[in-house]
Amino acid sequence: MRQLSRLTVTSDSLIYPSSRRRPGSIALNKLDPGLRRDDDNGKYGRPRNIGVLLMVTCFALLANSIVNAESDTPGLGYQFTPLTPLAAAPDFTLKDMDGESYALHDFRGKVVLINFWATWCPPCRKEMPALEALYKKLGDESFAVLAVNQWEDPDHVFAYTGELNVFPTFPILFDPESAISEDYGVKGLPTSFLIDKKGQLVYRAVGGRDFDHAEVERLIRGLQAEE
């Protein structure tokens, strides 16, 4: 995969660079022509009306880009790719929106679906209702879903989930520095993994998925049936 210097939209996922800067952040040029000299105290400042205008424009452009990207997002697939040879899933402990900690090893004995995602990722947003439908159908003592958010803060994600038609009932965890996604070799969002009851990585899906598809359910039920 070629090196990327900025966020790039592909057919069914968003590829993000190795830089830790949050997508959508803005760096202002030091020689910004909008700055002016304040004669009273010798400091530089920006006329307040110009600053407000720039902020409104930036937010409008960002919102418009997300809407356009969502409208161009293709239909969700349902295929998962088998991973060989089998390897233990990297363990982690992350907190949810309420500050409660979740450790992956606590789910040993269950089939676990880990979904790496972000609110600014169109296919992530598109697949969220199907992920909740799957969790409601299979979420019991032998199956769990852990949605691992990338870069964003809990307040922002909480506001986003409040806009959904169906509020997610599975744990949403936070990986603010993207350290866990690096452990899993994630190159694009969304990326999902299925972990068997022994804690091994067995399947991976890169890009948006229709988790409520019959084939996905069959795959998970097969893993649940294993000893």
Helix/strand/coil (H/E/C) assignment for every residue in 42-97: CCEECCHHHHHHHHHHHHHHHHHHHHHHHHHCCCCECCCEEEEEEEECCCCEEEEC
**What pLDDT is recorded for position 13?**
54
Q: What average pLDDT does this structure show over 132-137?
A: 96
Residue 136 CA to residue 166 CA, distance in Å, equals 11
Q: Domain 81-225 classified CATH 3.30.1360.200?
A: no
Q: What average pLDDT does this structure show over 116-138?
A: 97
Do residues 106 and 93 make contact, with C-beta atoms less than 8 angstroms apart?
no
Q: What average pLDDT does this structure show over 103-107?
A: 98
Does residue 17 surpass a pLDDT of 60?
no
38/144: higher pLDDT: 144
Residue 5 CA to residue 19 CA, distance in Å, equals 8
Do residues 101 and 171 make contact, with C-beta atoms less than 8 angstroms apart?
no
**What pLDDT is recorded for position 75?**
83
Residue 132 CA to residue 218 CA, distance in Å, equals 17
Q: Where do the structural domains in the chain lie, given as residue ranges?
A: 24-72, 81-225
Q: What average pLDDT does this structure show over 159-183?
A: 95
pLDDT in tens, 24-53: 433 333 333 343 334 334 433 444 455 545
